[in-house]
Amino acid sequence: MRLDPSRVRKRLHLISGLILGLFLLTHFANHALGLISVPTMERGRLVFNLFWRHPLGTLALYGSLAVHFVLALESLYRRQTLRMPWKERLKIGFGLALPFLLVGHVTATRIDWALSGYSAGYYDLLPRLWGRPIDRISQSAALLVAWAHGCLGIWFWMRPRAWYPRMALLLYTLALMLPLLSLLGFAAGGRSLGAALPSESWFMKGRTDPAMLDQIRIAIFAALSLSIVGVLVARIIPMRGKVRIRYPDGRVLSVNRGFSVLEASRAAGIAHVAICGGRGRCSTCRVRVTEGLDRLPPVSDGERATLERIQAPDNVRLACQLRPQADIAIAPVLGAENIGLKVQTAEEETGGRERRIAVLFCDLRDFTRMSQQHLPFDTVFLLNRYFEMVGEAVENSGGVINKFIGDGVFAMFGLQSRIGEASLQALTAASEISYGIRLLNHRFESELNRPFRVAMGMHAGPAIIGRIGYGQAASLTAVGDTVNAASRLEGFAKEYDAELAVSADLMRHAGVALDDQPTFPITIRGRSGTLETLIIQDARSLAVMVDEVRKPGEMAVERP
């Protein structure tokens, strides 16, 4: 079995990063115990050291640290341009600064312990660190930089995954609270020992000669500095040979061999969509190779897996993974000017993401006939009252009106909540619309030749959320199979002369029991299989179902 170097690098980078993240998590939790007392911190440190001072723990920690740093240098060397989104710059900057901030702490604890067997504890270190403002500041800065670097790495890794939006709030809370509690614990412990600094002789007892530790510290600083400077110098040494990349608008870029197409776009300031940041995890940066296809380097296993997932043809490659060795011509498949997602240039980050939402389509039936029977002013007036009613029903239920299309409305639920709550919100909105349409009929009974009637379709599932459109007409919306299915269900509601056609999937997400509810297997064009659907003649009946699911006191709606 042939190993893909790119895939091996990514795996090593991820595994080493997760191990370092686990170390930070436990280390910061230990610091947070200072909010209780210094003896509690010491007891926590003993438990903490059971693993991290064990030979296997030591190998895992320092092996991961070495692998992570070497891979960072290798990535910096391979990166053909330093123009990148600010979050990537921040992550790399923090990663390079972190070793320098930690050298002093590591030599005073781990290296001293390895040389002398003396295990410096909180009673040793807190007075020294808290007693000198410069040490206090540098230790706090190291803590924050280490955590920020780890959080950015985790964010880049998790962001493209479908389950990330459901976990985002919990992860953000953890990312904010843990360093805050750690800093507070560090401060509380330092303040409690600050009034009784130990004597120098007590502090030095059993320790390695300070002069030797200083020499080790200087040597580590020098090695780190030389390695980074060496990589930066190596980057500016011209590589042998250049290749030309031609874009559809006629622009031709001449770049060194080794540039990826995405890096070439960034270096030239050409907007190029790349949701995952150029890691080969999404397919938004893909390009169609129009010339030079026979001279391309082979596809890596990781790139092949992504391309096969979207069933891309042979002439399509990922711009972030394609490093041409000969002249080529390319055309981005997802054009920057009309992609519908926020474009990632060198200065900004993309905004497209997948999220599980509930979708509602609502259409006013027989509107064409109604508009023929009223003056234009009256038609607009009545239509606005209808839109006002639907908009209030959706927003009061927790949803968002996405578009008004003719006499129809497209609404989304779940942009800030989970799929279960989003489904309940959609059912509540449908019930409110059913009540609202009857109130409109009563209010304008004298002006309507026939009463307002609505047809609604609802479905819940994954959808792509992003800015879609052109120029000033672009707006945040959703696309995908879930949206298409909801739109088609609205049409089935009309066919069945009902107010609502709702998928059984949405009802299950909402927690509504379907034991006594008849369902219809509906075939939707362009979708494999059938979609189990409930036909609701009177959507007001949904209010009872929603009230049964919700806990007492939650969003109970009183009817006049």
Angle between helix axes 38-52 and 5-32 (nearest 10 degrees) is 150
- Tokens standing for 111? 């290296």
Cβ pair 354, 465 in contact under 8 A: yes
Residues 6+ positions from 63 with CB-CB distance below 8 Å: 16
Handedness of CA 278, 282, 287, 293 (dihedral sign): positive
Q: pLDDT at position 360, please? A: 95
Instruction: Render each residue's pLDDT in the chain as its tens digit; 560 residues.
Output: 455 566 777 788 888 888 988 988 998 899 999 899 988 998 998 888 888 888 898 898 888 888 888 888 877 776 656 666 666 677 777 777 777 777 777 777 777 777 776 677 777 778 777 777 887 787 788 888 888 888 888 887 887 666 777 788 888 898 899 999 999 998 888 888 764 455 454 445 556 677 787 888 888 888 888 988 888 887 666 555 678 898 887 788 878 777 888 888 877 777 777 766 666 766 778 888 988 888 888 888 878 887 887 677 888 898 888 888 888 998 887 654 434 343 333 333 334 567 889 999 999 887 777 776 666 766 777 888 888 899 999 998 989 888 888 778 999 998 888 899 999 999 999 999 999 999 988 887 777 778 889 999 999 988 888 776 665 566 677 888 888 899 999 989 988 889 999 999 999 999 888 777 788 888 877 666 788 899 999 999 888 888 888 764 444 444 44
Cβ pair 535, 493 in contact under 8 A: yes
Q: pLDDT at position 377, please? A: 64
Q: Where are the domains of the chain?
A: 5-236, 242-332, 353-549
Query: Does domain 5-236 fall into CATH 1.20.1300?
Result: yes
Q: pLDDT at position 80, please? A: 57
Query: Nearest Cα to 283, choosing from 271, 292, 274?
Result: 274
Angle between helix axes 38-52 and 164-194 (nearest 10 degrees) is 120
Identical topology for domains 242-332 and 353-549? no
Query: Nearest Cα to 522, choosing from 494, 495, 492, 500?
Result: 492
Q: What is the CATH number of domain 242-332?
A: 3.10.20.30
Q: pLDDT at position 374, please? A: 67
Angle at 375 between CA 373 and CA 377, to 5 degrees: 140
Q: pLDDT at position 312, please? A: 77
C-alpha 148/C-alpha 95 separation (Å) is: 9
Cβ pair 327, 317 in contact under 8 A: no
State the residue for tokens 């923090």: 94
Residue 552 to residues 130, 354, 360, 395, Cα–Cα distance (Å):
52, 33, 26, 22
C-alpha 372/C-alpha 406 separation (Å) is: 15
* Local structure of residue 239 (DSSP, 8 states): P
Query: Nearest Cα to 245, choosing from 294, 291, 280?
Result: 291
Which architecture does CATH list for 353-549? 2-Layer Sandwich (3.30)
C-alpha 121/C-alpha 39 separation (Å) is: 10
Residues 6+ positions from 485 with CB-CB distance below 8 Å: 459, 461, 503, 524, 527, 531
482 HSE (CA, 13 A, CB side) = 26
Q: pLDDT at position 116, please? A: 73
Would residue 459 be called left, alpha or beta, if left means φ above 0 and alpha means ψ between -120 and 50 degrees? beta
Q: pLDDT at position 33, please? A: 92
C-alpha 359/C-alpha 385 separation (Å) is: 22
CB atoms within 10 A of CB 170: 9
- Tokens standing for 338? 């009309």
